[in-house]
Amino acid sequence: VKYVYRFSEGDKDMKDLLGGKGANLAEMTKLGLPVPPGFTITTDACREYMKQGGVPAELAPAVTENLASVEEKMGRKLGDPDNPLLVSVRSGAKFSMPGMMNTVLNIGLNDESVLGLAKVSGNERFAWDSYRRLVQMFGDTVLGVDGALYLDALDNIKERRGVHFDHELSAEDLKELVVEFKQITKEAAGRDFPQDPREQLDLGIEAVFLSWNTERAKIYRRRERISDDLGTAVNVQTMVFGNMGEDSGTGVCFTRDPSTGHSGVYGDILMNAQGEDVVAGIRNTEPLVELETHDKKSYDELLAIMDKLEKHYQDLCDIEFTIEHGKLWMLQTRVGKRTAAAAFRIATQLVDEGLIDMDEALTRVTGEQLTQLMFPQFDAKAKKTLLTKAMAASPGAAVGEIVFNNEDAVVAAEEGRKVILVRRETNPDDLPGMVAAEGILTARGGKTSHAAVVARGMGKTAVVGAEELVVKEKKKFIQVGDQVLHHGDVIGIDGMTGEVFVGDVPVTDSAVTTYLAEGLEAGLAAAADDEMVADLIKSVDRLLTHADHRRRLAVRANADTPDDAARALSFGAQGIGLCRTEHMFLGERRALVERVILSPAESQARAEALAELERLQFADFEDMLRVMNGREMTVRLIDPPLHEFLPDLTQLEVKAAVQRAQGEELSAEDRKVLEAVRRLHETNPMLGTRGVRLGILLPGLFALQIRALAQATLKLKKEGLDPRPEIMVPLVGSVRELHKVRVEAEALIRSEIAAFEVEHDFPIGCMVELPRAAITADDLARDADFFSFGTNDLTQTVWGFSRDDVEGTIFPTYIENSVFGVSPFETIDQRGVGELVRMGAQRGRSTKPNLKLGICGEHGGDPDSIHFFHKTDLNYVSCSPFRVPVARLEAGRAAV
Ligand code: ADP
Ligand code: MG
Ligand code: MG
């Protein structure tokens, strides 16, 4: 096997093997850009390392060979005492995992080569600064020493010298620091900092392999649904130095603004510094344009390269570079992460610039991003108390109590309280707190700091680099001027403007939501004179329109009331895929249901209660059908077990026991109720008397619903409207159940048609939500005009999971143990439940080729599931009204 590739051997499509960083370093090398030479150790080697629990034997000779070729190219040898070659060891997995993996710079320095470096560079201070960084990074990331120990030592020496910044320390100071750092390493790690350059390199490589399985890397992967099996590549690259003096520097830039999507270059630089200073937000950076004044030649060259990269990748590129003595070097590029708003705007900009077409543009945005844009925002008109203003790093409006550490954030989140994580700056150790918080506020760092990058990736609101803000993490307070806020005080952060407010700030709908609900004109009006928002709305409109044009799946909504139905229509729903009727039996009507249940089968009382319910249902259906005029509306006959309409058994038993203890008699009425509840009580109600079973056991119920629906329909039809109800029978397991209901329904409908003297065709279909229904779908199709896959119940019955119980108990542990990456109730389990959907669809259509197929349930609004339903050739998905725009977009994406 080939475990090592030179940069000149790979390209950008080899991410599986070379990781994202390695593949793109190879691509830039291929493009002829100035990339410091190096090589990439493949993810194969990492996987083999994990399998064997050690470095595979073939790796060392391959590293030796490739190192030799770099040494030859550079005319220097790794760690040579006179003129040392130094390298960085950089991790890089297929998917970028910001800050997850360890990077070690300046490998090859030791007590001797540092002198050589000082001599050839003519810069003693620089050489010692590089060496102290190596000892520090190596100790921290390779040997597992607590990084704070080094930082404390660094702070101490700065204090003793009376300086503020690292670069103000002299060569002598740094020499002293190296001695101290080595001592710290020895004490904390129980071994000396290795002087042998090759040992440094090998340990560094191994540390990268190991870092794949750190806790924070696992948390990130779980969140991003990245497989644990991929492994990481390792890049070994010739060092170039941004810390050689004021004609050197380092920076991060974007070919467009990743936060707003504005076209035009954008970035942060730091002169006289090494790369990790920018990413860690150690010092506040300068904007990229300042580079023009520092070093115009490098600035111009960088702009030209940015343009070249963007055209080449046909997308926003995110770039890391370093300037050494006025010579520009490219250290990294990738297609950049971006906010949801930027994603939509950039996608249409690239179309307008002729780089991509609309189909491609659709693939550049996601339903998840659209969801983010629908988030509420701070009410512009509300009175707010501004605390400070900083950099807007990740959009949204977050309000919560101030917390300063992971533990407080996690505890609060578990108790359902909203918190804002406030830190001086964040690092990968803060990930659990960031996950738990509503938003993140930091005092240091730019838009490319750890906090900003990770928050954007997670879709969390973040405001960073609040320079006025003093953060006391241990003492748990923050201060701006003389205003002090403590742990637990409420603040609001605006990720669009960078504003930080004191107290609870009211939030309002986003203008994008206004657009989605009320149309382009209303959306643009809501954007008022905010050009960026107006432009965003136009982008969303173009992309959604294109998605509508391309998609094969129709999108319907689950709606039970005229209000919900109207909302669904305004969001673009083409019909109702699930109108539940049970809520229509609750509230004041519950007493009627109780009477039906408690009265003897043939009694006058039951007949009266049923008649009253029928009148009420008629009005319900009439209202709904009016709203849905001209569009299909699937009405599911009553589904839940009857006992849900009666009082709770335990409560009744307790009440009875108390009365008995006090020597009182139960009233006749109470006794009747108690008996009925006992009679109807079931141990597994979800597998009990519900759906079609209930319809067969208590015939009056389905009959009244069917009559009410038929009457409402025929009445509207007489008025000249176009009602399109579909009757859906739930929880069918056998065609005989369906057949019985169908025969009775048809008889009822015929007599209504005769009475109204209007013709109408009522489609009758069933839910496919039991395994037996999917398996016998060819039989079912004989008596069904349509199927609707009820994937919630189907998941419940295929897995045997009680869906009301598992989410809080079994699932967290299952997800932790990778039994599945995501709850099967959230994203359809394609292998199991999905297979039954596919089987049901195929068998159903083998009987009736034109059988209409839909799905209702949570999966109808889930992006991954929607792509699956598209492939399975269903006719429509049905989801909650607010998910309709997301489903439209994803159905379009699935089709391109
Ligand atoms: P991450 O994946 O966390 O961004 P990187 O591997 O990109 O980690 O390294 C962190 C920083 O170290 C980068 O910002 C880069 O500028 C700097 N760096 C890495 N390799 C080199 C090198 N060969 N020469 C100079 N700086 C480097
Ligand atoms: Mg990087
Ligand atoms: Mg169901």
In angstroms, the CA 553 to CA 876 distance is: 5
Pocket test for ligand 1, best of 331, 431, 453 (most atoms within 8 A of CB): 331
Asked if 200 contacts 77 with a C-beta cutoff of 8 angstroms, the reply is no
Please tell me if the CB atom of residue 332 comes closer than 6 angstroms to any atom of ligand 1.
Answer: yes
CA 226, 232, 237, 241 torsion: positive or negative?
A: positive
- What tokens were used for 418? 């909203």
Q: Where is 262: in which H helix or E strand? A: none
| Contact between 277 and 301 (Cβ < 8 Å) | no
Where the chain has pLDDT below 70, the residues are 98-101, 223, 276-283, 447-448, 456-457, 459, 807-809, 812, 816
Write the CB contacts of 595 (distance below 8 Å, at least 6 apart in sequence): 605, 606, 608, 609
As beta bridge partners, residue 238 has 87
Q: Which atom of ligand 1 is nearest to the CA of 90?
A: 6
856 an active-site residue?
yes
- The amino acid that residue 828 corresponds to is I
Q: Is position 164 annotated as part of the catalytic site?
A: no
Atom of ligand 1 nearest to the CA of 320: 16
Which atom belonging to ligand 1 lies closest to the Cα atom of 238? Answer: 23
Distance (angstroms) between ligand 2 centre and the Cα of 313 equals: 18
- Tell me what pLDDT residue 217 has: 84
* Backbone φ/ψ region at 109: left (φ over 0), alpha (ψ -120 to 50), beta: beta
Q: How far apart are CA 213 and CA 415, in angstroms?
A: 29
Q: Which two tokens stand for residue 154?
A: 């660094």
Tokens of 37: 């030479």
CA distance 622 to 625: 5
Structure tokens of 87?
């390298």
Phi-psi region of 476 (alpha: psi -120 to 50; beta: other; left: phi over 0): left
Q: Is 858 helix (H, G, I), strand (E, B) or coil?
A: helix
Contacts for 870 with CB less than 8 Å, ≥ 6 apart: 551, 552, 553, 891, 894, 895
Whose tokens are 């307070």? That residue is: 477
Structure tokens belonging to residue 833: 């439940």
- What digits encode the pLDDT tens for the residues 4-25? 999 999 999 999 999 999 999 9
pLDDT of 77: 96
- Name which of 248, 245, 264, 268 is nearest 256 in CA terms: 264
* pTM metric for this prediction: 0.81
pLDDT of residue 878: 97
- Tokens 């496919």 identify what position? 768
In 734-743, which positions are buried (b, 16+ CB within 10 angstroms) versus exposed (e)?
ebebbbbbbe
Sign of the dihedral through C-alpha 571, 577, 581, 583: negative
In this structure, the number of other CB atoms found within 10 A of the CB of residue 675 comes to 12
Decide: 457 and 337 in contact? Cβ < 8 Å: yes
Ligand 1 contact, 105 CB (< 6 A): yes
* C-alpha 222 to ligand 2 mean position (Å): 21
What number does the ligand 1 atom closest to the CA of 241 have?
25
Q: Please indicate whether residue 240, judged by its CB atom, sits closer than 6 Å to ligand 1.
A: yes
Q: Which residue has the tokens 């930082």?
A: 151
* Distance from C-alpha of 416 to C-alpha of 33, rounded to nearest angstrom: 51
Name the active-site residue from 46, 317, 856, 879: 856
CA 320 to ligand 2 centroid distance, Å:
6
Angle, CA 202 vertex, CA 200 and CA 206 arms, to 5°: 115
Atom 8, ligand 1: which residue's CA is nearest? 103
Separation CA 876–CA 864 (nearest Å): 15
Distance CA 399, CA 401 (A): 7
Residue count of the chain, please give it.
896
Residue 27, token pair as written in the block: 């691509």
24 in contact with ligand 1, CB cutoff 6 A: no
Choice among 450, 546, 867, 870 that is catalytic:
450
Q: Using CA atoms, how far apart are residues 538 and 522, in angstroms rounded to an integer?
A: 12
Cα–Cα distance between 90 and 39 in angstroms, integer?
11
The distance from CA 114 to its chain's CA centroid, rounded to whole angstroms, is 46
Atom of ligand 1 nearest to the CA of 36: 23
Radius of gyration of the chain (CA): 33
Query: What number of helices (H) and strands (E) belong to the chain?
Result: 37, 33
Quote the strand ranges of 769-875, DSSP E.
Answer: 786-790, 852-856
pLDDT at position 863 is 95
Element (H, E) at 201: helix 197-211
Instruction: Write the CB contacts of 740 (distance below 8 Å, at least 6 apart in sequence).
Output: 696
Ion ligand 3: residues, CB within 5 A, are 769, 790, 793
- β-strands 391-394, 461-464: how paired? antiparallel
Angle at 184 between CA 183 and CA 187, to 5 degrees: 85
The amino acid that residue 368 corresponds to is E
Structure tokens at 136: 């520090």
Q: Which residues pair with 397 in a beta bridge?
A: 494
Q: What's the CA gap between 301 and 308, in Å, rounded?
A: 11
Q: What is the dihedral of CA 742, 744, 749, 751, to 10 degrees?
A: 150
Residue of 282, 322, 324, 448 to mutate, ligand 1, most atoms within 8 A of C-beta:
322
Q: How many Å apart are CA 167 and CA 282, to the nearest integer? A: 12
For the record, the structure tokens of 432 come out as: 């659990």
Site of tokens 């101490």:
156
Residue 320 Cβ < 6 Å to ligand 1: yes
The percent helix, strand, coil of the chain (3-state, each to 5) is 50, 20, 30
